[in-house]
Structure 1
Amino acid sequence: MVKIASEQRLRVLHLEDSPADQSLVRRIMVMSYPLAEVLHVDSLEAFLDRLHQTHIDIILADYRLNGFTALDAWQHVVQLPNPPPFVLLSGAIGEAAAVDVMRLGISDYLLKDDIARLPHVAARALEVHHAKKERALAVSRLAESEAQLAALTEHLQTSIEQERACIAREIHDDIGGALTAVKFDIAWIGRHADTPEMKEHALAASEMLQHAIGASQRIMMNLRPPILEQGLVAAVRWLASGFERRTGASTTVRVANEQMQVTSDVQLVAYRTTQEALTNAAKYASPSKVVIDLSDREGVLTLEIADDGCGMSPEMRTKPKAFGLKGLQERARTVGGWLDISSQPGKGTCITLTVPITATAAHSTEEF
């Protein structure tokens, strides 16, 4: 049973050309809604004037009127940004025809022979209308929140990459330079050492410094790979070569174009996607073969990393701490692209990044 709020203020627009029916509708509505204001109109012109000049909570309309029908009125109502509920109130339409017009978006219908149910039908139409408004508002707020989250994600990713670039420069300029200078000094000490023990210690220290220099270079490459300056194809091939060397898995890179013209932010997203996919494959998949396809055909950059490893179940992809894959999906969104992950236990994994290249200009960020 629909609960009727008798104290609710309502402005009812009643489209009816019968004075007797107008009087009856007013009396029935006011009995259930003492604060209701029922505005009667009997022409399409008067209906439109009231509709556009006055706030209307609900519309009641006879089906057949002098020279037009309720459907003519509905065609104007449906064009409103937030149309009020529209109830067909008629004795000149069959049930089948009434159902057909409701498919057009009309809220409800009621035969005049059953007019005593009008307050109930009106209350139900108002509640449904209110629920639709609340749902539309919730959808709008959700879309707004998602847009804000996407903007925040893009900002965070940009900030992270900028900070990585700064740290990489500091490692190169300060730490790398200092380590190299110390290595030269220790080499000098080793050449001028008086005892075998001093020479041995100098050599050990030089080897440790070389290890530290190598570690700093690897960290610097991971933070901001200089290989990207040679283009996306070269960067992907460099990642594939390192992966094959570390894991022993056969790694093939297939490219459609050696010189791909994409913005720096798209390059970075594709590079990070490849890097994360290969890292996950090395940690969890134990593949014997990996194939990387890179294409920029038809204005779309497509990067596909497929392995023949152990695969993963859907639960693994949706678990709360699956931040790596979720991070890749968010990265793709920052450049107007999307990420697809296809995997089954025992059948390998395929990660596909797709970015419309023509749409990336709006997402392009400054080079780091």
Structure 2
Amino acid sequence: MIVLGIESSCDETGVAVVETGAQPVPVLRAHALHSQVEMHQAYGGVVPELASRDHIRRVLPLAGQVLADSGCALADVDVVAYTRGPGLAGALLVGAGVACALGAALAKPVLGVHHLEGHLLSPFLSQDPPEFPFVALLVSGGHTQLMQVDGVGRYTLLGETIDDAAGEAFDKSAKLLGLGYPGGPALSRLAEQGDPAAFKLPRPLLHSGDLDFSFAGLKTAVLTQVHKLGAELQARKADLAASTEAAIVEVLVKKSLAALDRSGLQRLVVAGGVGANRRLRAQLDAACAKRGVRVHYPELALCTDNGAMIALAAAMRLQAGVQQPSDSYAFDVKPRWPLDLTAIA
């Protein structure tokens, strides 16, 4: 079975082809991605209308490129998958509309996929794929969640952020430091030159006794330090960046370990854009190695939003029999969509 996947939930247009067969995990045949980062830099963040317009321009050329790279023709496609949510409504509508139009033109079924499920399952495309069950740490610009994953479509929410996500904390702190957009990667690069113990920043909810997160207070603490430093900020910017990163990573690591303890599981999957952070990977690897816990990550190229994870999630849902593709080409999108409800989607 050949699945064509389309991702358009925010500021990256992704298209991919995966193939299922005798192997237990679908194989990625080809994928292509266009990032809108340069377009949004002038505005300091994503402009939804501009994002939607750019998806319109990019999606069909990318689809043509991916089909050519995979050696497939449109007629070879068995299912067209697309991101149904969560995300920006206008951006989601572009991918959904194109996918359903392609499905109708080809007389092939379509399947709407949960964006976070794509991230969660993306490590199955890595050189070291996980096995069910596992605990998943989903960390991105808009989401920070801990999930227990017992199988495809079988997700239990263990904890989530009550305000800012980890990615937002990186981006907003970077903006306070004058690092521009996108701030998270820039802050992490600068942090490599600084002292992570230079500033005492809060670790919100670290000892709360639950598995929820909160990062809004950390952002406020960074703002306070920026004001205190004043003219000294430039000289201490790397130290403040390193201290900010250390605070975020410590919370993510300790909450992940607590989730493993509560679930009794010995396998952790980390997915989402923040999962590419070097400090996070190093500390999780070290902590989990002491406990004999296996840690799995997506390939670095698949940490950001991409079409491969959407095609993969659709293929795995079909293989597991938890969802059937639709022969109806009427569509809707879900800008807000809890992941633990996808089992009944």
Query: Greater helix percent: which structure?
Result: 1
Give the TM-score normalised by the residue count of structure 1. 0.18
Give the TM-score normalised by the residue count of structure 2. 0.19
Tell me which of the two structures has the higher relative contact order, counting C-alpha pairs closer than 8 angstroms and 6 or more residues apart: 2
Larger radius of gyration: 1
